[in-house]
Structure 1
Amino acid sequence: MKLSYTHTHTLLNWTTLYTDRRSFTDNMSAALCAFILTCSALCGSTVVSGVLSKPTNVRLTSHDMNLVLRWESKEQPAGLVYTAEYKPSLADYRVGCVNISTLECDFTCLNISIFQYGKYTGRVRAQSGSETSVWVESNQTTLDKDTIISSPNVSLFSNGATIEVSIQDPIFAISALREVYNSATYNITYWQDGQKQKAKSISNIQQSWVVLNDLEPWTKYCVQVQIKTGRNADTNLSKPSSAVCESTTVEEEAPWVPAVVTFVVMAMAVALVVVAVLYRKRIFHFLCPKDALPQHFKEDLLACPNSSMYIAMGNPHPAEEIYHQVIIMADSRTLAEGRPLESAGQPDTT
């Protein structure tokens, strides 16, 4: 049977349309299957494998020569703990904190050896029951180069028209500032209160006691100090201290005046001692003269007194006392009646 041109063309169109629809359906089915398989794989890896999420933002920090590992966690299921370890640059990892629930581990608080010039790396993993996460490693930290130094403690003392600045270094977790940074210096900035834009600076000061003497009397000044370790011109600077203020008073007299006064007083004392030694006889005669008393004074002073009392007091043997014996006799009537003597003088009332 012969087909016309119109029937042939229509048949070809239907065949093409059917083929395109079948191809589109096959492509959609394949894409859908791939999407489902991908989701299954991702979900299955979380649910089936049972591996915890690893800690994030793991970093090893140092503040005043301590060594602390810090991290963050996206999930906090019940019983979740962490284990942190540290590693020197030329050694293997060593145990630090075990089964802790906090998000940090301070290695310097543990009974382990930390070297102030060492390079260290830390790592941490999460654990919940029998499930553990993978280890997450931190950055490498060099203690003496990367540690953050706190601000020094500054005290001011007013002394006339000058201000004395006392500086105390921050306390390190291990060692001391001057032992780690033996060339450390201070940068001192000072200004009149309310005029910080006109501040003056003194650099490379190694003494912890400094006197500011180019000040105005009866003026309030503020001081700020920063430590410079000397390792690098732009880094290893401590945090600046808080501004401390103190007022000057009346202008102090020149420092040579007390010295001159002291010298004069000592010279006068020495001169008096020398004069006393050289002229001691004359001074003694002046204070204790040898002038004789007039003769009539001597006679009056040496004459014996005529007082009988004086004579009696001077006699070593006391004078004999002269006395007469007296006998008291009772009345014969009283004795005859037999009354006692004490009633002898009473009249008879019977």
Structure 2
Amino acid sequence: MERSFQPWLYSCFLIPVIGILPEPKNVRMNSVNLKNTLQWDPPDFYKENVTYTAQLKGYRSFEDKCKNIILTSCDFSNISKYGNHFLRVRAESENDKSDWVNITFCPLEDTIIGPPEIQIESLAGSLHLHFSSPKVENEPDMWTLKEYYYTWTYKVQYWKNDTNDKLEKTVPHDSEVLTDLDPWTVYCVQVQGFVTDTNKSGEWSQPICAETTDNGSHPYWTYITVPIVSMIVVLMLVFGCFCILWYFYKKLKCAAFPGYSFPQHLKEYLEQPSYNISFLLPVSPNESESFDKLSVIAESENIGHDTTGPCDYPTEVKQQSLLSGEKQHLPGHCTQRVCPVSSK
């Protein structure tokens, strides 16, 4: 115990006397998603003002990255993402400088892969997952880690919310569908980035839970009911369209061709049995016509006497009789003077 205490006691007295500046302690690279920050702790038991200088080795020599800073960190995010890099840092004061502390850093191997982003959509009894690879900071085109790791995949774990039995699967794409899930059940999902060729795993995302819906299977009766209902609806639509078209057809017909009403007095005239409309029919030329020929013979003994006897009628009556073709039977002895002659 005494031997371990003596070097510490000697250093407390030697530093103020000799003026030697100790180097920074616990030098390390803190890199997450290729955001690279070199960090260190101040030297022990030194009371004067201290600054720091951090350098990166180039092709020929070391180049200053951070010079005479009072912070205990320096950003190296803009260095190349490939290969090994040699970095160093030292403490400086007005009168002295400490020794360099060197470290080696490989960004793609040493950086920590952060958790990817995940979105869940519940649809038809399954969970649709969408992933987003972590973004790389200080990149103008906002590349993600997936562009730097050629064998980038996702590891997915999912389980029922009330159980600890986790199922795992590897997904090479940015989306995945979890099937064969129980309907109306809450499932939790988390994901991490994984590089296959180097077996490098990233951090797990926070669990996100979602409830599944119906598995999409329909009862058997829906396969019968739906076609019948659809057919009835179609028939009703067709019948409705037909009624509408018929209604507009009647309206259009009445407007374009108004109805004609037969005069009432002609109806009453034609309904009487004593009248006939046969005179309106055309007469066929082949029909045989029949008529009676009338001859009027005057008696000789009545010549010179009164010509207006009981058998004589006015000339107008005789003419009407001849024109009408009817047989007139005169009263008394005058009936013998009318001699009908039948002909064709």
- TM value normalised by structure 2: 0.58
Residues 301-337 of structure 1: CA deviation (Å, up to 9, x unaligned): xxxxxxxxxxxxxxxxxxxxxxxxxxxxxxxxxxxxx
Q: Take 1:207 and 1:240, find their aligned partners in 2: how far apart are those partners?
A: 17
Cα contact 1:61–1:141 (8 A) shared by 2: no
Of the three residues 86, 93, 96, the one matched with 1:121 is 86
Of 131, 137, 156, which residue of structure 2 is paired with 1:188?
156
1:59 aligns with 2:59: no
Say which SS state the counterpart of residue 129 (structure 1) adopts.
Answer: coil
Deviation per residue, 1:183-229 (Å, 9 max, x gap) = 21111111101212x211111x1222222121111100000111112
The CA distance in 2 between the partners of 1:91 and 1:176, in whole Å, is 31
Q: AA paired with 1:150?
A: G
Q: Any conservation in 2 of the 1:54–1:133 contact (CA below 8 Å)?
A: yes
Counterpart in the other structure of 1:276: none
How far does residue 151 in structure 1 lie from its aligned partner after superposition? Answer: 0.7
Q: CA shift at 1:182, angstroms?
A: 2.7
Which one has the bigger helix percentage? 1
The answer to whether residue 121 in structure 2 is matched with residue 157 in structure 1 is yes
Partner amino acid, structure 1, of 2:197: R
- The equivalent of 1:202 in structure 2 is 169
Calculate the aligned-residue CA RMSD, in Å. Answer: 3.8
Contiguous gaps of at least 5 residues in structure 2: 1-6, 239-245, 264-344
Alignment of 1:112-151 (within 5 A): 113-138=78-103, 140-151=104-115
**CA distance change for structure 1 residues 47 and 77 in 2, over 3 Å: closer, same or farther?**
closer
> Is the contact made by 2:21 and 2:46 (CA closer than 8 Å) also made in structure 1?
no
Displacement over 6 Å in runs of 4+: 41-44, 284-287
Counterparts of 1:1-350 in structure 2 under 5 Å?
46-73=15-42, 74-88=44-58, 90-108=59-77, 113-138=78-103, 140-173=104-137, 174=139, 175-196=143-164, 198-203=165-170, 205-233=171-199, 236-253=200-217, 288-289=252-253, 292-296=257-261
Distance 1:285 1:77, change over 3 A: same
Greater Rg over alpha carbons, structure: 2
Deviation at 1:67, TM superposition (A): 2.2
Identity of aligned pairs, percent?
29
Q: Distance in 2 between matches of 1:232 and 1:167?
A: 21
| Contact 1:59–1:71 under 8 Å retained in 2 | yes
